[in-house]
Structure 1
Amino acid sequence: MEYNKPDALVLTGNLAENWRVFREAFEIYIEAAGLTSASNKRQVAIFLNLVGKEGLERYNTLKFENAEDNKKIEQVLNAFQDYCKPKKNILHSRYIFYKRSQKENESIEEFLSACRGLIKDCEFKSHEEILRDKIVLDTRDGETRDKLIKQADVTLETAIDTLRIAEIQRRELNQMKEIGEKQNEVNAVHSKVRGGKRTNQAQHHYTQNNGNNGHRGQCQTNQRQAKGYNQQEESQQVVKNKGNFSVNNKKTNNNCNRSDKLCKYCNFMHGKGKCPAYGKKCLKCNKFNHFQNVCKSEIAFVENVDGLSIDNYFCSTVYTMNTFAVSWSETILVENKSINFKLDTGSDVNLLTLNDFNLIKNNCSFKNLVVNRRPINLQAYGGSNINTYFTVDLKVKLREKEYILNFVIVENHCKPILGLHSCIQLGLINKVENVDKILSLNDVLQNYCTVFTGLGNFPDEYSIQLKPNAIPVTNVPHRVPINIQDKLKCELDRLVSEKIIREINEPTEWVNRLVIVEKKNGSMRLCLDPRDLNENIIHEYCVIPTLSDLSSKLKNARVFSVFDLKDGFWQIKLDLESSKLCTFGTMFGTFCFNRLPFGINNAAEICQKWNMKVFGGIENVFIYLDDILVFGDTEAQHDCALKQVLDLAMKNNIKFNKNKIQYKVDKVNYLGHTFSYEGMKPDSDRIKSIFEYEVPKTIKYLQRFLGMVNYVGNFIPNLAMLTKPLRDLLKKNNEFVWTSIHNESVNKLKTLIASPSVLRNYDNTKDVIIQTDSSKFAIGCVLLQEGRPVCFKSKSLSETEINYGQVDKEFLHVTVQTDHLPLISLMKKNINDIPSKRLQCIKVKLSRYDINLIHVPGKKMFIADALSRACISSRDNDDVDIDVSDVVHSINMSTNIRNEFVQETIKDDLLKQLVYVCKNGWPKHNNKVSRELKPYFNMRYQISFEDDLLFLNNRVFVPMKLQNKIVFKLHETHLGICKTKTRARSLFYWKGLDKDIEEYIGNCAVCNKFRSENIKDPMICQEVPNLPFEKVACDILDYGKDTYLVLVDYYSGWLELNYLSSKTSSHIIKILKVIFSIHGIPKQLVADNMPFNSNEFQNFATDWEFVITTSSPRYPKSNGLAEKGVSIAKSILKRSDEGKVDKQLMLLEYRNSAIIGSKFSPAQLLMSRTLRSKIPILNNALQPTDLLTKTWKPGKIINKYNTPRSYVFSDDTGNNKRRNIVHLRPAGKQLRYNLYKDNNIVSKPSWIRKRRVVPPTKLNL
């Protein structure tokens, strides 16, 4: 019999899956063909025959451990398995598993099967529990999930069965619901109000005629025959049912089951006694036998019964359909519930089905809903009636605007409808009278609403190019004031949700700092400080147009409009690599910009280039960065260009700011000038401060005035001659005397400034005339077209220039001049090193320009110096669209505390001086500063006076009178010294702040009472005695029910372990006497207190002439050697009991074993020999030996070394050596007298311990 052979193995695509399928097919084929008993060689041959050409080639390259393995089928399969199956990344597999959740319309079986497949690669220890948690927590059935969580001991099988049953019930209920739904839709409803008597027939029930009576979908009304109720009573019963508007619709159709009706307990149709709500608890009121969607407990309705008239409504057509045109529908939020409405311009009323109303009612929290039960007759085409229940006013929301609309609640077989009046009110339908009518601004905003909403996105992505030798820089994020941290978090979340930025969890080479800018409306703008990045970006050059370029384009323009791109830079998307370059760090994580951020130095050129790419081909359009000027000689020409701009914006998903539109004006403010058909002139707001300048009374004021006049020199003809009398006053040899001539000159200049000449827009198609004139003292010229000026130029001549024949000028580069020297250093600083937030904001604005900042004395800064001192008080808020998050915002004060700070700052002598120098400027040199201000001179650039408060960077100066109060406030919660000082340093400043806080907290009674334990003292190293058993440590060991005395020798480490039948002093003394009789009496015994501090023990120490040193109470660590001995002894006892070994034998081996860190054992150090044990040993090891052969040598101390306890000495050979005090001892009197005259000692090398018996030089007592 021929069997199906598996397809050849495919070695491309998902290799692991291809191999799994092939191997299963191959094993099935071998089994089916009866080849399992065949030899390995034959099975391998069959495998290679089936695996295909690619598989055979791969087989020839595989390596096997043994040469014969390539003929064994199991080895060949395993080799292919290793080749095809990739190495598992368990973390990645678990991530995929945890991220998997039940998809919409996915059954529990499908979800469970997917989870079982994913968990195979996760290598969990227990699959059952994790699978149970997964399907319970990630199911889309929230009610069943909550039910399972509340149960105890839920197994995987229980969870699967419960979810299956819930899924089946939900599916069956949906099927029953679909049986009762009808597909009819009511269109074109007209209303007509008639007076008349109130009818007692409330038509709440219907039968559907499918067209057999000649009318398409004609509705027929039927009288309800209900047991014990008349129609009026049932109508009232339905409306007065406060929590449930479901109606028991009984059908008279013979084919219908009488029991099929909408149940008031579950809102579904079912047979008698089969209500799914029976026995179930409501989630609203916690009562039984009904569902949440029909619960009556929450919403109270107020009925409005009007018995004066009956409203009659007529339907032009009633027909059945399954779908309707999408273009004539709109999804609207009705009480926060999305409902899709049919837009019907032929209807005067709005229709809403009863089911939709019940869903709205269950999903919202309104308390008093006004229901109008006024009788309503709704008739379809042909006169058939449609059942209605009541009318109600509901709140709807569309395009961020809210409205109140009236709805007629009808039967469920109808479609929701919005009538004509509501469509117009919501702006869904516009009345078009003339197709050729020119649209107004409202029409533009409405027809192109998508262009003015949301965030735009240019079609392409931008890639930031770096220089080849760019070195990445990672900047640490700076701290953010506490009071704006929440706002920053919200702004970051908003930008992440809008996909302007994204959180990044991988390391990046470039990390920039973040600058927070606060707009005037209180919102934030996040900007980068890419100072290091900007230095390495390859600049993208694009020609930015000038006023001359604009003037030449507007030669005949009469109609103007200006559109500003909304968040223009953010509409340019970055590619992945460029996005990583724009990474910044915050306290909430690391993020990177997906869009072009503010701060990139060539962002302006990029914006200009991309706007030119989209809009540059349109006639009558001028683009300057993100401002687009649309103009035209006629309105039709303007509208043609406008339509192209808006169409291209819509096509390319570019958004404009509707709040900054200048629409169809005859004069437009653009780039600081006013443009019209007549030409160009300076913006009146720009020259207002110049016109209101006072009459100059000194040379400096005159210099400023003349500089100010030169600012508008392009608009004033013959300027040099007009200013000649004024310039003469500035000559050094002339006395400054103000006369009427000078007044006349000033007044004439002001008159010309107040009404400057309108410069004609330059037209490159017309002839140009340049008129020049010269005098002895000045030269001037004017550019004319058709007799009208395009530009004025004038220049006064110096004494030397009068003799010039021609003056050549060359404009090399743009230079910014300032008379404030500190700005030079500030411009070179990093943004976050600049103290003032306001200066940081200005630095961000200037970051896109390549500025050469130079210092020029103020007397030579004619224009800027004059304008800065002659400004008027009024200010247009529109000139500044953003304000920096100022330092004042960093300290959130109540009004009372702030007023107290302001008052005390004024009274404080030191702060008054600081305020004065902040306002009037610091002296140039430290020696000119008062003694009180000298400590602040070096930090003068960080001190500022803002909002009547004095600041050092972001810290407010605290007047002396309030310092104690601030310290009390800071320590009110009794934080520690470090935390309190850290908190204070971020908010306040005064000299001696840290010292005051330390002193206050040091005297705080509460803190002293609950102060933490003292820091542990450093360990005191015990001095090693010179002789064995000179100093011993002793302690008592409790082991089980037994008690032992432990004694350890400080010199040798010899351990004594003796059983105690009693802990009394007398018994311990008996044991010690035996030990001392063997090893000798020590000089010092170190022990704990009890019982070694008893009188009996003290008497024993006195009689035997040794000293007892006891440790501090409750601090046994001070007797460290004894504690270590106890630990060793306890270990010996445990091992002895467990191993059934004599503990005395174990003690013997311990004493014979070398101490860690030494090559000698306790027995060798104490007895100069090894003790005989059960272990074989040479005889010479059992003989006493002098282990330390070195002897003491005489020497003389030269001086003390610079390290602790270290001395330099000279030995008897004259060599200088250094030794520790441990290796030195005083010499005898005779030796000192014979060898040296002063400061004699005997020294031994550091590695020697003296063991030989020598005649003592000092008696050891």
Structure 2
Amino acid sequence: MATALPTFDKFVVFSSSTEHTVGQRWKKWLKRFEVLLTAMNITDGARKQALLLHYAGEEVFDIFESFSAAQKGEDEGNADDSYAKVKTSLSTYFEPKKNVEFEVFKFRQMKQEPGETVDNFCTRLRLLAATCDFTNTDRELKSQILQGCTSTRLRRRGLRDEMELENLLKTARSLEISDVQATEMEADEAVNAVYRNKHPQQGGRRSNTQSQQQPLQENRGQTSWSHQHGGTTSSRPCAWCGGHCRSRTSCPARDKQCRSCSKMGHFAKVCRSKPQGRSNASHDARMINTRADSPSQHSSDSERSESEYAYGVSSVTSKTPKVNLQMYGESVPFFIDTGASVNILDDDVFRKINAPALKIKPTSTNIFAYGSSQPLKVRETFETTVSYKKTRVTTTFFVVQSTPHARCGNLLSAKTAQELELLHYTFATSTSAPPQTVADHLVKKTPQLFEGMGKLKDVKVKFYVDESVQPTAQPHRRIPFHLRKKVEAELKRLEQLDVIEKVDGPTPWVSPIVVAPKPKKPEEIRICVDMRLPNQAIKRTRHIMPTIDDILSKLNQATVFSKLDLNSGYHQLELDEESRNITTFSTHVGLRRYKRLNFGVTSAAEIFQNHIAELLTDISGSLNTSDDILIYGKSQEEHDQALKRVFDRLLEKNLTLNKGKCEFNKDQIEFYGFMFGKTGVSPDPKKVTAIQNMKTPTNVKEVRSFLGLTNYVSRFIADYANITKPLRDLTKSNVEWTWGPDQEAAFNRLKTELTGVKTMSYFNPNLETEVLVDASPFGIGAVLTQRDKHMSYIISYASRALTDVESRYSQTEREALAVVWACEHYHLYLFGHHFTVLSDHKPLEGIYNKPTSRTSSRIERWNLRLQAYDFTLKYRPGSDNPADYLSRHPTENANATTRHESKVADEYISFLLSHTVPMQGHDSARNHCSNEN
């Protein structure tokens, strides 16, 4: 039984003539065809295919005939599959070869058209973005809308407020609606202009009985004014008909023709085209200049009131600059007037443009000819976009009616000329704007370095999982209802950035998530995965992490600093496929897993540090700690060279930066928790302020927290151990909590000392190095300094308490212990270079400077440890020795010897015993050492 074909409007035949748009047009045509099939209720696959080939036209049918049997779907089992195959084959045929770079170029060139809404502009951008392979499409759309939109207000709000694309579009709609509503309201208002006579009477007084004229009514050689101050008129004459109208819409002259000038919209009795008293017929065009009114007449920039400004017009000479601007597809000539603050368009030119979409508004702004008291005939005003070469601006124009004796011409204001980059002001001053720095140039040249989230090329992180650990699928933790929308939005964002992916199928590892607000943005959340159980199975990979001493040794003599922050650092390292399952986590919308290195993995910090350090290893003047990269140089040129090399390396490896956290060309910069500058290193003022603002502790836990926070500044305070001793006593076991005067004094004194913390100098291997040492019955201390001519620079303070055994040593042995401990403590600074040890204990001078001197076996053993160092010991009185105070106020940790110190000492003694002591003396040496211990 035959089925009648429903009747419908003619469907457009598809044309493949325009090659560069054929792909997009085919997709659009096919979607419309699918809608047509739905409207006609056609579900049979064979009929769909027949209608497709029929309505697509002869060109598409010929293309279909050239397909193979497989492409035509003849091998498919049913008609529906055959129809789907035909669609796929045709779509593949019409799909152009994509050049991503060219597609991105086209996307960057997009501008909002005059009269186009932001939503339509966004739709055009979204179609182009589909072929650009952007990592974060919404972010790119937002950026291009802000760059290419015609609304200055929208651009300013987008730059001022941090908002997502959806909120930006909502703001744009709100602004567009308010503009339309304001235009309608203004169109219904009266456009009468009220003026005030500004000619002063003799003696500076103005006559209150001065005659008043009708608005816009013209008398030869006289000025027509109405009072603006000191009284109001209850009924103002209409500027269009001369009567009394409530609004422009009710004016009887609205659609009438003037008998004087034959123009529409007004009566002859108020016509502005009547002959003037004295008109210069040679004035083909006139320039607009500002004539300031009284301060009370000025209003805001956002809207022009009736009494805002007055302007004058003067003749244009042959030297007046002229330029052609593009306006609605027409090339319109303009004269540039550097003294004007409004743009003028001649009435005749305005009619030739003939733009139907133009939104015309009445205006009461008054524009005067230069030296004339009569205003020009301003018809209306409108806002539009004009362009010069590649520069486009949206601005307001006033349409001025020419007179029989002179044409006003088209004049461009100074402000618009500047925006179009036609006009540049220079000032004859002794100072000039700072030149663009290399950092500014690099940032401007490489915008892609600050867009989206990068992914380190040629690197995939692998987790080594201990197979003996049983995988665990932990119970799901419920997310509070009021946070679920935020969690869903964050998951969507991470999926769009290719950081996480959905998990389908079974997975042995499942971890719960913890939702926490971001510290600096409480309205936003951070999703954290509880990786405690998976960490038990992930074998830790060890990598060397830099210390403060490593950083200080590199920054010597540096004067210029910059800091780069990698955007979401860990997430720029990709996980290999096998390592992703162990990161699986549960949410209320299903399972997800990480595709990038995630926070919470035990060795994540070391893995990330190692990869970034390897990236920068051959670039001098750069170092990193985690996702912060420090650039430094002894000169601006050296710094700039390092910065450029780092930028090039990051681009090469496809890494991106967080522009908001980057700092350039600083003489002092915060890094690794310290402030590094030209003169040295000091504590971070923010951390010092946090310590000073802490409240008095009320329990042992708070005391430990306070001491932990202050410990990082201990290297800057000589008597830190003495100040904190009463507080440390409270943290000992079996000590009853008592906050007394001693503890309060220590707490307050530490805060006071922090206000006077000095800057420590950088260690310079080329300068003479000195170590000041001293010992007391309960502690030893040392100060590392360097001397340059007659100046001495402090590098670091150090002290420690003596053990019970050490406190029973003789004074000479304690002083000798201070020497060996100080040398091993500062091993990184002292080894391999001659230095001087200063002590206030005179006997040490003979012990260390006379190899033949006889000492105790304990000191002899320490001397073996010191043979690795090249030093000279000199005597200095205690009053001149800063280490004297440190030894009497030591750090409470009695066993403060670092692993490195112990290792160096043990290895060196072992070396000496093996290579310098005779074989027969080994046993006696061991016995002697054991007895001394």
Question: Which of the five TM-score ranges fits, normalised by the shorter chain?
Answer: 0.3 to 0.5
What TM-score results when the alignment is normalised by the length of structure 2? 0.43
- Which is greater in Rg? 1
RCO higher in structure (CA 8 A, sep ≥6): 2
TM-score where L is the length of structure 1: 0.33
